[in-house]
Amino acid sequence: MFTERFNPDVLAKMLDANSPSANEVSRLLQMDSLDVPELARLILASDNETSRLEVISAGNQRRESVWQKRLFLMPPLYISDGDPNREGCLDYCVYCPWRHGNVPADKLTRMNPDEVRREAAHLLQLGYGDIELVAATDPELLKGQNAARMVAATREAGAQNVGINFFPLKRSGDYRALADAGCTFAIVWQETYLADIYKKVHPRGPKANMQYRLEAHDRALQGGIKTAGVAFLGGLADWRFEALATLDHALYLRKEYGANIIFGMPRWKDGAGIPMHTAPAFYGDKEYEFVGALYSLAIPEALPWFSTREHFDLSARCAKGGGCMFTLDCSTEVGGYTKQGGFAQFPVYSRSFAQGVEWLKNLGYDPQIHLPW
């Protein structure tokens, strides 16, 4: 389990050092693979503008050599904003408009498998090939067989790759049922790897158990899922530490299970009715772009996924070289692709499949509708 080897003090100590010289940065960028202490040295180089740009350029080149400008399109399908009989999501994340009790009762929606099948069919008709299922912490989806039914419905609609991004299941056997139903990737954003901040932003609810979440990818991969998504939520804590911890986690999952890695890139944004109205920690565009490149330097075969919370121009710039996941159509309302009037989890940038593919091609990218694994 990752928790048995994860040592935040050791990571913090790596970052408590002088910045590397230009020679050291050049030497590191020529290496075929980088370990966690070496990645920490590159993070420390980010204060120097020349070094920062060198890291970004090297990351983009490394990515392009593996992926030749291919971008992998993935629409999210939001299937539940919580339990309609229990005031919605069971969690209280202070950064999220879907936190318990915040979504008006008449807007709470939980889709059944037939509705999921129809909504998935709509997305596939637009041109997509794969789908990510997203939900709040809904007690119905904590049962492995119910989650598997949603995956099966999406597969029946015709999706080739189906992934889940909701509260992690308890046992590797639950993930086995999901894998058997056709689930190919499991995403669990850790939000923060710092225990004190984690506690502050997840004051109550199932998600308050940090260890349970940190071990979720182990359970999923032991259960037969092949691809794992890791991420920190930018803006909650020092991005340097969070990026290094995310890399530590990803390198562990790759070494231990041979997992394919998706690096999520969400950043905190203000939303309706949430208690946290300013990001506690700075994480600007320059840092965001740097982290995406660093991920590709660490694992060139991994796919960073630039967030729909960001402007398309920033995402397109960050995706240079290809080898990234990208979202065009995006609604964070449950069933929001075919009907209006739901309660969005957060505001996003969205562009239609047809227009978005054209735009990406004009930028020199090669959009793909299926994940490569």
Query: Rule CB under 6 A: which residues touch ligand SF4?
Result: 89, 91, 93, 96, 98-99, 136-137, 207
Query: From the CB of 79, what's the least distance to ligand SF4, in Å?
Result: 12
Smallest distance, Å, CB 82 to ligand SF4? Answer: 7
Give the CA radius of gyration of the chain. Answer: 20
Residue 202: both structure tokens together:
């997840």
The DSSP H or E segment spanning 366 is: strand 366-368
Question: How many Å apart are CA 356 and CA 316, to the nearest integer?
Answer: 11
Q: Contact 136/98 with Cβ under 8 angstroms?
A: yes
With residues binned 3-state (H G I as helix, E B as strand, rest as coil), the percentages for the chain, rounded to 5, are 45, 15, 40
What gap in Å lies between CA 19 and CA 182, rounded to an integer? 46
Closest distance between ligand SF4 and the C-beta of residue 202, in Å? 7
Two structure tokens written together for 34: 């980088």
DSSP string computed for 299-357: -TTSEEEE-TTS-HHHHHHHTTTS-EEE--S---STTTTT------SS------HHHHH
Count CA atoms within 13 Å of residue 261 on its CB side. 27
Nearer to ligand SF4, 305 or 365 (CB): 305
Residue 99 DSSP code: S
Please report how close the Cβ of residue 138 comes to ligand SF4 at its closest, in angstroms. 9
Which CB sits closer to ligand SF4, 121 or 279?
Answer: 279
Cβ proximity to ligand SF4, 159 vs 236, nearer residue: 236
Q: Which of 323, 315, 305, 324 is nearest to 359 (CA)?
A: 315
CA distance 146 to 150: 7
Give the chain's length: 373
Closest distance to ligand SF4 from the beta carbon of 93 (Å): 3
Task: Kindly state the smallest distance separating residue 89's Cβ from ligand SF4, in Å.
Answer: 3
Task: Choose among 279, 281, 303, 227: nearest CA to 70.
Answer: 303
Residue 115 and residue 111: Cα distance in Å, rounded?
6
Phi and psi at 228, nearest 5°, equal -120, 140
Give the nearer residue to ligand SF4 in terms of CB position, either 91 or 242. 91
How many Cα atoms are found within 13 Å in the side-chain-facing hemisphere of 69? 7
Nearest approach in angstroms of CB 181 to ligand SF4 is: 22
207 versus 249: smaller Cβ distance to ligand SF4: 207
Q: Could you tell me the CA-to-CA distances from 268 to 85, 265, 286 in Å, in that order?
A: 29, 10, 15
Tell me whether residue 54 or residue 83 sits nearer to ligand SF4 (CB atom): 83
CB of 98 or CB of 353, closer to ligand SF4: 98
- C-beta closer to ligand SF4: residue 246 or 260: 246
User: With respect to ligand SF4, which residue has the nearer C-beta, 137 or 161?
Assistant: 137
Residue among 113, 106, 154 nearest 132 (CA): 154
* Residue 47 C-beta: closest distance to ligand SF4, Å: 32
Q: How far is the CB of 312 from ligand SF4 (least distance, A)?
A: 23
328, 75 in Cβ contact below 8 A?
A: yes
For the bound state, the minimum distance from the C-beta of residue 128 to ligand SF4, rounded and expressed in Å, comes to: 23
Nearer to ligand SF4, 43 or 93 (CB): 93
